[in-house]
Structure 1
Amino acid sequence: MTIRFTAPVLGLGLAFAIAAPAQAQTTFRISHQLPPSHHISQLLERFAEDVEARSNGALDVQIFGASQAFSPEQHHPAVARGDIEGAISVNFQWGNTIPEMNVVTIPYFFTDLDRIEKFPGSEAAAMLEDKLLQRGVRNVAWFYTTRQSIFTSSNRPLVELSDFEGVKIRGLNRLVDEGLVAVGAAPAAMPGSEVYQALQTGVIDAGLTDVSAAYSRRFYEVQQYGTVAPFFTVYFHLYVNPAWFDGLDEASRNAILEAAAEAERAAIPLTEETADAAIEQLRSVGMQLHIQSEEEAAAFEAAMQPPVMDAFLASSPDAQALIDAVENLCGRATGATRRVLRTETRRRCAAAFLPLRGRWPGGAADGSDGVIRAEGAKGRRPRAPYVRRRPTPLRPFGSKDPIRLRTLFGSGATFP
């Protein structure tokens, strides 16, 4: 039974009393900050249905969205204390508590689809999951949310690096803002819900969000231009109270983990489709969009990635090992990324890429073109050797028929 509230919950005790199941079941309550229109919120609803089906009704999954039960900053302590069984947070929300969680927000580092597809179950994911466990929560799933950012503006389009000079722009966090400062911008960090008003009143000149949020938050009403770029990647991730999870019977634990793995796979084509739809929707309402070329992306990476990478490496003694683990997923590696790679990692990836030479632009087998490939990342859930492909169409859980994503989910994503 999935519980939905359309009005704010005044108190968890009251809410949970109302939601108490009529029969003996184990309750699995999940809190998150996303509105119902968000595509990850929609995905979570289907995850809940899948868990209940796989557990044959032994688990009663109750969803408390839109911060009705807990606010985003309350999720971690609430789950760790056992006030609620599970919650979803955005990766960069952990800030200095777990600085390693910022690895996917390093500019132009984690935005290749092959890397994103291989992340769940990888050594890199396991390292982050260990950090989360040390903080009293057990990670269950990584829901890929976006890799298509947009720089919005009203006075002039932000296409060249020089266009950012002196521009007051929405910042994300201290780490990512290092890249914006490097090109002369003046970032001001603020939550996504405050950006529209800040743009409207002139507090800031430019916005930074993902393309779906730019549409759902109606940035096009106060911004004329947008530059779409693979700036960074964002994940929402689901975590639970370890004592609660360990206390479940094996069948219930497996039901959650199997449904989580299915949802992780489903999130990739869903997110890609949502972003494509949002780009067309922004154009349809008159926003003038520029899609960043490979050459432009390389120039932005060269200017923005090094200071952010340096700040990330300085943030934790485990940062270098995490960078290496991400590189073992392979994909592209250029600029500051290549600079911090350990020699053995580069050799291993380059050697594994050799049989596929020429399938990506450049084609140098020694990795000097920045295209590298691993033999396969070691992780908790081994994956088959990667073959570059289009994302598998999202299907309803237990169905063989693909979902028409734009119709079912829309493009209501909101970037925090």
Structure 2
Amino acid sequence: MKKYLLTFAATAGLLSAQAAHATELRLSHQWSTKDVRHAVAEIVANEVAAADVDLNIKIFPSKSLFKPREQYRPLSRGQLDMTVFPLSYAGGQQPAFNLTLMPGLVKNHDHASRLSKSPFMAALEAKMAEDDVMVLVHGYLAGGFVGKNKCITKPADVEGLQTRAAGKSFEEMLVGAGASIASMASSEIYSAMQTGVLDAANTSSSSFVSYRIFEQVACYTPAGDVALWFLYQPLLMNKTAFERLSQAQQDALLAAAAKAETYYLEEAKKQDALSVEVFRKAGVEIAEMSPQDFAAWQTLATETSYKSFVASVPDGQELLDMALSVE
């Protein structure tokens, strides 16, 4: 009997030790399971599972765990392990993050990728580290405008319209153009258009499609040769949670993240063209922003968004100059 008890205790101890090494991470995001950002999360989760390092990532899509704008704070506090998140949503905690949604700052997807690897991004990552947050997967998505009753291509087109813009900088620019602002997450655009709360909106090409905004609008101005709208939407992780993982688990997670980042860039480029096809098929008019329209928005942004950012962020001019220096 004594021998049996000893054997049982040893087995229980072994199982307990194995369980201690098995880790489950919770990953939250606001998008549907058809969205590219969910696919990025799935790649990381699936690659980690395939690595067989006793690490499981459970994904909570469609704002099922936290509200869209309320994910950064629980992430920084260790109440959430991972999130795919528009960093500008956390501009209230770190005003410098508003620079990740600045009109006209990013020229195209390849330029966005270079920004992600630049000293500018390293400076932002240092600020994230202050909040116990780190980047696993870098990613920018482009976007455009929709109008419920008219096309939006130049600043004069939004005058007098109730407009949704993601992020403080775009809101400031649109106010400068004479628009009224209704702040909300991209997941709320559909119902706001449907109920007459919104006349116009801008968000990512992917969100326009995944939230079926084409059902509520008359005209779509997509990202084309000139794209005014780029938003940094990385997969973030609580830094302490990452550091608690074993070396094998960390290695598997970083390898999975690298694969997901390559996919994210390739897919981001496809999203713009896909969105045009979807909107056109739905009978929505497609408008194009000309280089002259783009220049007019940039001039307005310099007078509004850029100026306000520099005035409100202690190292704002330095950060803005770092971003603008990336060719």
Tell me by how many angstroms 1:302 deviates.
Answer: 1.7
Take 1:213 and 1:320, find their aligned partners in 2: how far apart are those partners? 31
User: Does residue 123 of structure 2 align to residue 127 of structure 1?
Assistant: yes
Q: What is the SS of the residue equivalent to 1:69?
A: coil
Take 1:84 and 1:149, find their aligned partners in 2: how far apart are those partners? 31
User: Does residue 77 of structure 2 align to residue 81 of structure 1?
Assistant: yes
Q: Deviations over 1:71-124 (max 9, x none)?
A: 334423333333332223211110221111121311111232232121333211
Q: What is the SS of the residue equivalent to 2:151?
A: coil
Q: What is the aligned residue count?
A: 307
Which of the numbers 31, 36, 47 marks the counterpart of 1:34? 31
Residues 283 and 199 of structure 1, relative CA distance in 2, 3 Å threshold: same
User: Does residue 114 of structure 2 align to residue 118 of structure 1?
Assistant: yes
Tell me by how many angstroms 1:179 deviates.
Answer: 0.7
Take 1:49 and 1:232, find their aligned partners in 2: how far apart are those partners? 31
Q: Which amino acid aligns with 1:104?
A: T
Q: Which amino acid aligns with 1:213?
A: S
Take 1:86 and 1:213, find their aligned partners in 2: how far apart are those partners? 20
Q: Which structure's residues are more often helix, by fraction? A: 2
User: Does residue 247 of structure 2 align to residue 253 of structure 1?
Assistant: no
Q: Which amino acid aligns with 2:133?
A: V
User: Does residue 287 of structure 2 align to residue 290 of structure 1?
Assistant: yes
User: Does residue 265 of structure 2 align to residue 268 of structure 1?
Assistant: yes
Deviating above 4 A after TM superposition, structure 1's stretches of 4 or more consecutive aligned residues are: 21-24
Q: Deviations over 1:29-48 (max 9, x none)?
A: 22222210111101210111
Tell me by how many angstroms 1:190 deviates.
Answer: 2.0
User: Does residue 223 of structure 2 align to residue 226 of structure 1?
Assistant: no
Residues 260 and 196 of structure 1, relative CA distance in 2, 3 Å threshold: same
TM value normalised by structure 2: 0.85
Take 1:315 and 1:199, find their aligned partners in 2: how far apart are those partners? 32
Q: Deviations over 1:327-349 (max 9, x none)?
A: 3421xxxxxxxxxxxxxxxxxxx
User: Does residue 190 of structure 2 align to residue 193 of structure 1?
Assistant: no
Aligned residue in 2 for 1:179: 173
Q: Deviations over 1:209-258 (max 9, x none)?
A: 23333333333333212222412211222222322322223232222223
- Verify the 8 A CA contact 2:132 2:240 in the aligned structure 1: no
Take 2:230 and 2:128, find their aligned partners in 1: how far apart are those partners? 19
- Verify the 8 A CA contact 2:81 2:237 in the aligned structure 1: yes
Which of the numbers 136, 143, 147 marks the counterpart of 1:148? 143
Structure 1, unmatched stretches of 5+, are 1-20, 331-416
Take 1:261 and 1:59, find their aligned partners in 2: how far apart are those partners? 17
Identity of aligned residues (%): 27
- Verify the 8 A CA contact 2:142 2:205 in the aligned structure 1: no
Take 2:105 and 2:77, find their aligned partners in 1: how far apart are those partners? 34
Q: Deviations over 1:131-187 (max 9, x none)?
A: 11111222322232x212123231x32234322222222233333211111122222
TM value normalised by structure 1: 0.68
| Pairwise CA RMSD | 2.3
